[in-house]
Chains A and B, each alone.
Chain A
Amino acid sequence: MVESKISTTMKKIHIFGLIVIAIAIGIIVSTYGSASTYSNFTEAEELAKEGETSEVHVVGKLTKDANGQIVGMKYDPVMDANRFEFMLVDTNKIVKKVVYLSPKPQDFDKSEQVVVIGRMQKDYFECNKILMKCPSKYTNEAPDFKEATAEKI
């Protein structure tokens, strides 16, 4: 009698524990399912061909010309304030046009490495989000003292 009472007690707590574990596993599985991937243009293109609609992260570098201007950058707010284009070189050195359907991000000119999040269209990569790494902003990389010294001389 006493024993059976204890065993049902254990059962109840166990059931509760099992439910919690089940939810936790569900969370992990769903995270895996909704996670995006770090990718490159070639893979993004293949995904798009397969009809996959999920978005990918592409890490790439902006190429700059001798004047420090980003190559292939196009933004004409008078024509369309919500369209910004640039060329991006991915980790495999593949160059693609990236189209961002929003105004040009403020820090873009200072960026070198960017992460674009979106999917491949026919001949360009359409992105919804750009993450920028600006070397001057938060990092303590070798600071550029040139301006200050020039002022002194």
Chain B
Amino acid sequence: MTLGNLGHLLVIFSFVTSLVATYAYLRATLLSTDNLQVETWKRFARGAFYIHAAAVIGVCATLYVIIYGHHFEYHYAWSHSSRALPWYYMLSCFWEGQEGSFMLWMFWQAVLGVILIRTNKLWEAPMMTVYALVQAFLTSMILGVIIPGLDFKIGSTPFLTIAEANPGAPFLQLNPDFVPKDGNGLNPLLQNYWMVIHPPTLFLGFALTLVPFAYLMAGLWRKQVVEWLRPALPWTLLTGVILGVGILMGGYWAYETLSFNSYWSWDPVENAVYVPWLIVIAALHTMIIAKKNATALKTSVILIIAQFILILYSTFLTRSGILGNASVHSFTDLGLSGQLLLYLFAFIIVATILTVRVWKLMPSDKDEVSTYSREFWLFMGATVLCLASFQVIIPTSIPVWNSIVQAFGGVSKLAPPTDAISYYTKFQLWFFAVITILSGIGQYFWWKRVQKGKMQDLLTPVWISLFISALLITFGGINKLPYIALLTAAVFALVSNTTIIIGVLRGSYRVSGGSITHIGVALMLIGILWSSGYQKVVSLNASGLLISKDDYFTKEDNKENKENVLLWLGQPTRMGDYLLTYRGPRIEIRDVPEFVPNTWVDVIEGDFHAVCLRDITIGEKTYHKKGDTVAVYAENAHYEVEYREPNGRIATLYPRVQFNEKMGLVTSPDIKRELNKDLYSYVTVGSDPKKAEEWSPTENFRVAMQDTFFVNDFVAVLESVGRTDKVEGIALTPNDVAVKAQIKILDKEREYYITPTFAINQERMVMRKPEVNEDLGLRVQFMEIDPKTGTFSFAVNSKQRDYIVMKAVEKPLINVLWIGTIVLVIGFMMSTIRRFREFRLVRDKGVELEKV
């Protein structure tokens, strides 16, 4: 049996077992509790689910073996991997394709399912019915089975061979057993450690949204409309942490790898996960108060359904091809959009029916919620979070709206707002200003620090934060109203939450998770405010030269137009406070810690190895000898750019461009990290160091001593010609005669000397050693000496001097954002652990009670 057959068989097997588990759990749920058969069905269902989980792990293992073993006869391995990749990037190959990412999702759900079965016996049957059904839907996505006679395909399998994936392709008719020698390779942007851990985290978050949903469905089904909260709450918190961490990792990856110049660009793909995350956060706040407040309970029911459905909706958005012209992330339709829609609607309908059935059974509030109660403030916070997510999902869904209108024969040509960043920021900024303020007030009410009717209890933190904000606004030069509002709100959240931790909880770490999380959010907002709102483009064209008289250049509003600067090799250029010099292209040898000049090695064409042209020495240590073959990252070119600060400090950055034959050019920034800011640089145009240089046709000059002449627009002076004893690369015997010319070349800011040599040996053989100056792009050869006229002749070739076009941006206080994210995650984890502990206590007590 081939690997592909094995994988495909395991997929079918896991699909069948998930259906079996669903059915068996359904039977167990439908039987009355005292029926002896319940245990039998449960045991059977459990077994089915365990086998299912094992099969899912087997499917993933098979695919990884195919990728890791370079089985390029399989389409998936061919299109996502290549021989040059190290093993950890082969993990990224696994989830680069859509099928692989579905598998990752299935894998996490299988693992979580096993944990749930083992930890919660009370809810097992109804909850796992829903759970296994979802798992069956998900498994069907990679089924790849064609229903005979109907020509209808269910799912898309990653286990197709190239021949199966490309039926009737001409090259296969020539050679049916054709196996490509190497794969297409991994998208260079994904060759980053964040891409090894970001997708698994995000999909764990996706999988986790199912857990509270399944508990809720079970609760509604068994008419336990309040009881589902306790087991679901810790899982909702965990969903919030993991999904949040996944999203933030994605943002950090974008910042480090993509030259989008930002960690967040409000792309539909990003929005599609941001929205369900906000809903999860809103849900966990209403769940905390749901036992005391019926409105919050009803809201929690709706939000838990919404977060799960929104994850399905986001999957639909990003994988159905519906975003089409709206997103840079162009996912194509694998023919799964119909299936995804079915999946989406099936669960909307199931959830709606179950909810409507028991809606009347839910309690209702007898008294009006007091403004002085914690319930009121938490509910407000959740509402604003929902509104914030609503504001994002509406514009993101514009392509869906167009499709719906067109499906009914109408015409809708709406496009998403043109400047996504400023559009979404305009709204989200105010929402978050309100949310952070509520996070502070909410904590005060939560810990009963405000007595009834005495709002003035809040005055101390208000005064302190107004004072701090005023200082920050004045000295930070914050001059825009929305920024002032956001800053003041964030400072208030910082002050009030810190006061709570110190004053009320006295550092009791178990219960301070909420306050710590809120502090994290406030810090993040402050970091975002400065790093995005007050980022500064360093690479402005400071030369003051008018580039062209075209109207763009004379117009005022052409800022973007000047934000990229051209740097000539070796020629220092002033930009802002820095003096920038481009030092040339560099290459990365896999086992050498620093980048080395491209001229040190010769890359073997079409391979990831290179031959050393000299000893590779960094500092004291010699890593490789001349002539050694070394493994390199052949596709990557790093451009060494030196930044000299006014105080003389020098920093070197190596922004990267990848020249990938199959995928085109890909640029990634390099970031100089300082305590108070990041200097973020990326190359927008760079030359390919692998391409052969083209020299101009030879130009001959005949000049006398001290003559001035023009070579390729440079002023050159022949300063001297003198005898020399040593010529590098030529062994001179005592009878040989060698002379060296000194040619001074004047460039804009500095002088260069080019010293070509001319040698004659005893047999009157002439040797002319040319000298190349890369900075000037000149090659000069000493041709002959004419003693009669006292003139010397030189042959000169020139080439385009190497250059790069780059953009550099300063991002102040970005570290506050990263610190905020860490604080947020820590606080969140603390709350999650606390709620899991509470759940366990109650559960164990419950079991004891049953025994009695």
Contacts and interface: CB of A to CB of B under 8 A. Distances in A.
Contacts of A28: 394
A46 interface: no
A59 B793 CA distance: 58
Interface in A46-79: 54-57, 59, 77-79
A46 to B, nearest CB: 14
B666 A106 contact: yes
A37 interface: yes
B685 A104 contact: yes
A103 to B, nearest CB: 4
Contact of A82 (B174, B387, B390, B562): B562
B803 A137 contact: no
Interface string B657-672: 1000011111100000
Given A81-B685, A101-B560, A131 B180 contact: no
Interface in B379-423: 383, 387, 390-391, 394-395, 398, 413-419, 423
Contact of A27 (B79, B162, B180, B387): B387
Nearest to A32: B414
Contacts of A83: 548, 552, 561
Contacts of A103: 564, 684-685, 805
A77 B415 contact: no
Contact of B664 (A20, A117, A134, A143): A134
Contact of A38 (B182, B383, B413, B684): B413
Nearest to B559: A101
A131 B664 CA distance: 15
Contacts of B566: 77-78, 81
A137 B564 contact: no
A4 interface: no
Contact of A138 (B175, B331, B394, B800): B331
B171 interface: yes
Contacts of B307: none
A3 to B, nearest CB: 14
Contact of B803 (A13, A77, A138, A143): A77
Which of B181, B334, B415, B800 has the largest number of chain A CB atoms within 10 A? B415
A8 B560 CA distance: 57
B330 interface: yes
Contacts of B562: 82
B169 interface: yes
A128 B418 contact: yes
A122 B311 CA distance: 45
Contact of B325 (A23, A24, A57): A57
B181 A102 contact: no
B547 interface: yes
A131 B328 contact: yes
| Interface bracket on A | 35 or more
A35 B560 contact: no
B548 A24 contact: no
B418 A136 contact: no
Interface string A93-108: 0000001011110110
A37 B666 contact: no
A109 B417 CA distance: 27
B184 interface: yes
A57 B685 contact: no
B295 interface: yes
B535 interface: no
A149 B564 CA distance: 41
A59 B413 CA distance: 11
B332 A140 contact: yes
B415 A36 contact: yes
B181 A152 contact: yes
Contacts of A81: 564-566, 684-685, 805
Given A37-B415, A81-B685, A142 B662 contact: no
Contact of A102 (B162, B325, B327, B564): B564
Contact of B662 (A59, A136, A141, A152): A136
B415 A109 contact: no
Interface string A110-126: 10000101000000000
Given A23-B387, A103-B684, A115 B564 contact: no
B171 A149 contact: yes
B317 to A, nearest CB: 15
Contacts of A9: 367-368
Given A103-B685, A115-B325, A138-B332, A145 B79 contact: no
Which 8 interchain pairs have the tightest Cβ spacing?
A106-B665, A103-B684, A36-B415, A81-B805, A57-B415, A101-B561, A55-B418, A110-B664
Interface of A: 8-9, 12-13, 20, 23-24, 27-28, 31-32, 34-39, 54-57, 59, 77-83, 99, 101-104, 106-107, 109-110, 115, 117, 128-129, 131-134, 136-143, 145-146, 148-149, 151-152
Interface of B: 78-79, 97, 162, 166, 169, 171, 174-175, 178, 180-182, 184, 187, 295, 325, 327-332, 334, 367-368, 383, 387, 390-391, 394-395, 398, 413-419, 423, 427, 547-548, 552-553, 558, 560-566, 657, 662-667, 684-685, 800, 803, 805
Given A13-B295, A81-B564, 16 more contacts: A34-B417, A36-B415, A37-B414, A39-B413, A77-B566, A102-B560, A102-B563, A106-B665, A107-B665, A128-B560, A133-B330, A136-B662, A141-B332, A142-B166, A145-B169, A145-B171
11 contacts: A8-B368, A39-B413, A78-B566, A81-B565, A81-B685, A83-B552, A103-B685, A132-B328, A137-B664, A138-B332, A145-B169
